[in-house]
Amino acid sequence: MNRILRLCLCFLVLTIPSLSLAVETQSLLQQLTKAKLSQMPNMLEQLEAQGDETLLPIFRAWLGGNLYYKRDDRQLLVKQKINSSTLYVDAFNQQVQADLTSKKVRKIKVNNKLRGLLRGTIARLQLTSKNTELRQAAVRELMADLDAETFNTLEDLYPNEPNASVQEMMQTALSLYVAKDSQHSQSVRLSAIEFLAQSLENDVRNGLIELTQDTNAVVASAAQKALNKINQSVERYAFVDQLFFGLSLGSVLLLASIGLAITFGVMGVINMAHGEMIMLGAYTTYVVQLIMPNYIDYSIWVAIPAAFLVSGLMGVVIERLVICRLHGRPLETLLATFGISLILQQLVRTIFSPLNRQVSTPSWMSGSWEINPVLSLTLNRLYILAFALLVFIALVLILKKSALGLNVRAVSQNRNMAKAMGVKTEWVDAMTFGLGSGIAGIAGVALSQLTNVGPNLGQAYIIDSFMVVVFGGVGNLLGTLVAAFTLGIANKFLEPTTGAVLAAILVLVFIILFIQKRPKGLFPQKGRAAE
């Protein structure tokens, strides 16, 4: 019994200091409700001295103008907005305070000077956070406005920083301060500038621009050389960024046109309703998310096969009811499929209304992959690029390794001979048209992650799809792949100088001139298929 009592007393002794510190901090925070604006910078300094990162939510609320207190008992509150509702939460125990209106609360004062101090305080508290990303973000934020006190703090923390990326960021911030400080020797400043030449941070570039006007000519010259080196790196990464967006557009064109390449190559059908197959796939994604609103992260895995089935079955129906009756009459087929496209557009307008619908992006596809401060790749485009390549590989395997692929190749090379050998060409036509339409539906799933879903979604890509097929070579999947990425990259590199419309016109003119020289495209079919 005595042993248990002694343990309890030891526990109380050990916990008393932390409890008194918490009470002291709360007491100081409560004084904010009575303090004048001129007293608050001093109080903020005291809070930072005795606080830790647990105070960050309160400081952020104060910075955002969301720190309040009750008029009657001066209880400290944090204002939160959820949808259209406004709630007030106790700043210490996070309990929601019911039945509070704007008349019963009052805001803690804040001005621009105090906001600047709060940003610095938040950043300094984050420097000791256990979260690596928070520490790195804090160093980046402090880099914009370093003072002697912050420099000393960073210098103390730098040797013991466990994360290499955060440590490098700290070294960049320290070097920037040293480079700007004329009290350091010239050699030390030049060494700091040499290190800064490897950084792509915006604050480093701004600091070097200032240093090019330094009174020390040697330092100014070194800063200019470092700035030139950084600008060269920025230009290289800008090229990579444009290339990525070109590949992203190319992946969308590939998904949109690869199904058209199959139907056009095998059946010789100019399917003007192909864009509406893309539209149906996009609307299928929208409907799937309506059905499973609480599982958005997983809805796309349901939407992909669902879109393939919906668009594929619609393609089979169109082929069996219309296309099969118009073999050998390409002009009539073109007019018929154009009429079908109008019917499908009006059907969608009737069911879903003419307004665009927004499809939610899964959380794992949101955001971007930040490679460095000047280059980041959006995750949704990166996933769509990988997905387009996977679909292409799967389609090639189907056409090369499966019985359907063998029959498709036989019909595309010589329809009459294939029919004489017992191949059911009508069945092959239906399956081919359904496969091409199904892939178009998958393209609609990808497009729903990049743009709003509307009745005219497919029309924006039908002309580009035909250009890809003709440019690459009718019925040639490799040609479709090369043509899609070539046109996508060309568009994105032309747009900054010519604008989007003129870039599209220039690409179209190029294809017209190219077809004049090579009517069968980049990769023309050979042998019997060429006939």
**Is 378 among the domain residues?**
no
Using the 3D structure, point to which of 60, 93, 114 is the last residue of a domain: 114
Question: The dihedral of CA 73, 76, 79, 82: what is its sign?
Answer: negative
Assigned domain for 136 exists? no
* Pick from 474, 476, 464: nearest CA to 507: 464
Q: Does one domain contain both 356 and 472?
A: yes
Q: Give 351-405 pLDDT, tens digit per residue.
A: 988 888 888 888 888 888 888 888 888 999 999 999 999 999 998 888 888 887 7
pLDDT-derived band at 17, boundaries 50, 70, 90: very low
Helices (H), 215-329: 217-267, 274-291, 296-321
E strand or H helix at 332: helix 330-352
* Domain co-membership, 200 together with 261: no
Statement: residue 103 has pLDDT above 70: yes
Same domain, 65 and 195: no
Q: 465 pLDDT exceeds 60? A: yes
pLDDT at 18: 35
The answer to whether 156 touches 139, Cβ cutoff 8 Å, is no
Q: Is residue 423 part of a domain?
A: yes
Q: What is the pLDDT of residue 529?
A: 47
Q: Are residues 305 and 361 in the same domain?
A: yes
Q: For the segment 206-229, what is each residue's pLDDT rounded down to a tens digit?
A: 889 989 988 889 999 999 999 999
- Model confidence over 37-80: pLDDT tens digits? 888 888 888 887 776 677 778 888 888 888 888 888 888 888 88
Q: Is the pLDDT higher at 128 or at 260?
A: 260
Q: Is residue 26 part of a domain?
A: yes
| Residue 10 pLDDT > 50 | no
Find, among 448, 265, 470, 481, the residue nearest to 360 by Cα. 448
Q: Look at the chain and report how many structural domains it folds into.
A: 3
Are residue 459 and residue 335 in the same domain, yes or no? yes
**Residue 310 in domain:** yes
Domain identity same for 491 and 361: yes
Residue 380 belongs to a domain: no
Q: Nearest 10 degrees: CA dihedral of 251, 436, 529, 478?
A: 20
Range of the domain at 74: 20-114
Is residue 5 one of the residues assigned to a domain?
no
> Which of 219, 275, 310 shows the shortest CA–CA distance to 461?
275
Q: Judge if 424 and 327 occupy the same domain.
A: yes
Residue 366 is given by DSSP the state S
In a domain, 245, yes or no: yes
Q: Of 114, 133, 164, at which residue does a domain stop?
A: 114
pLDDT at 100: 76
User: pTM, whole model, 2 decimals?
Assistant: 0.74
Q: Residue 283 has what pLDDT?
A: 94
Q: Are residues 53 and 166 part of one domain?
A: no
Is residue 522 helix, strand or coil? coil
State which H helix or E strand residue 411 sits in.
helix 403-413
Same domain for 206 and 244, yes or no, is no
Shared domain check, 263 and 156: no
Out of 195, 211, 227, a domain closes at: 211
pLDDT digits (tens, 9 = 90+) for 329-346: 878 888 898 999 999 999
